[in-house]
Amino acid sequence: MIRRMSRARERGIPDATVARLPLYLRALNGLSERSTATVSSEDLALAAGVNSAKLRKDLSHLGSYGTRGVGYDVQYLIYQISRELGLTQDWAVAIVGVGNLGRALANYGGFVSRGFRVAALLDADTAVVGEHLVGMAVDHIDQLEEVINQRGVSIVVIATPASAAQQVADRVIAAGITSILNFAPVVLNVPDGVDVRKVDLSTELQILAFHEQRKAERETGSPMMADDWAEAMDA
C-alpha cells in the first residue's frame, strides 16, 4: 500500500519560533477559556503581541494546521503546539536552592498546570531541610544524585547563590541531567549537549536602564558627557 506521510514533517524548527510557541499557547488557552472555536492568524497574533505573518510562518513550521478562508481550530492548535513542545508528557523538575526565589518558584502556579511537576526540593541549609513546601519535604543537597535518579527528574532549576551554582550544575550534569534553568547570576560552564537557559533579573534591569537613559537623553538633548574618567572614578 502506497501511503504517503500525511505531512512531510520538517525537523529543525528555528529557535526563534520555538521561543514563541509558549506565547501562542498561552494566547490560545485564553481563547479556549472564552470558548472560541476558531481564530485567524490576525487575531491570534494580536493576542500574542506579534505580527501575523510571523505567526503564520511560525505555525507553518509545525505543519499545515490551518484552514484557508477560516483560520485555526483553537483546540487542535493547542494540542499540536503542546505536542511539539513536549507538554503532552509531564516533566519532573527539581528545584535546587530553597531561599526566597526557590520558594517563589515552588509556589508558582503556572508551573504545575502545563506539563511540569515539582518532584524535588533541595537545599544545603540544614535549617531548611525537612521543611514542607507545596506538600513536599526539602531534601538535603547531599541526596542530589539519588533524588534525581529515583524521581526521574529531567529538568533542574538552579536557584542557589551564585557561588554554589557551578558546583550544582557539575553534579546534576554528572547525574545525567541535560536541561538546566539557571537563576544564579553566573555563566555556567557546561559540556556540549547540555542546554542551559538563564533568567537574570539584573541583566533585564540593566537593559531597561539603557533604554530609559536613551529616552532621557533624547528629551533633554544632553548626552550626559561625563567623559572625564578620572573624576568619575573618584565616586
Partner DNA sequence: GGCTGTGAACAGCTTCACAGCT
Partner DNA sequence: AGCTGTGAAGCTGTTCACAGCC
**Contact partner at residue 199 from its own copies, DNA, none, CB < 5 to 8 Å by partner kind:** its own copies
The interface mask with DNA, positions 9-48, x = CB under 7 A, is -----xxxx---------------------xxxx------
Nearer to DNA, 71 or 102 (CB): 71
User: Cβ of residue 98: shortest distance to DNA, in angstroms?
Assistant: 34
Q: Binding of DNA at residue 54 (CB under 7 A)?
A: yes
Cell numbers describing residue 131: 521543611
C-beta neighbour count of 39 within 10 angstroms: 22
Among 29, 36, 56, 151, the residue binding DNA under the rule CB under 7 A is: 56
**Contact partner at residue 171 from DNA, its own copies, none, CB < 5 to 8 Å by partner kind:** none
Give one DSSP letter per residue of the chain, joined into a string.
-----SS-PPP---HHHHHHHHHHHHHHHHHHHTT--EE-HHHHHHHHTS-HHHHHHHHHTT---EETTTEEEHHHHHHHHHHHHT-SS-EEEEEE--SHHHHHHHH-HHHHHTTEEEEEEEES-TTTTT-EETTEEEEEGGGHHHHHHHTTEEEEEE-S-HHHHHHHHHHHHHTT--EEEE-SSS-----TT-EEEE--HHHHHHHHHHHHHHHHHHHH--------HHHHHH-
User: Cβ of residue 161: shortest distance to DNA, in angstroms?
Assistant: 29
Nearer to its own copies, 99 or 142 (CB): 99
Nearer to DNA, 72 or 183 (CB): 72
**Contact partner at residue 57 from its own copies, DNA, none, CB < 5 to 8 Å by partner kind:** DNA
Q: Binding of DNA at residue 187 (CB under 7 A)?
A: no
**Contact partner at residue 164 from its own copies, DNA, none, CB < 5 to 8 Å by partner kind:** none
Residues that bind DNA (CB under 7 A): 14-17, 39-42, 50-54, 56-57, 59-60, 64-72
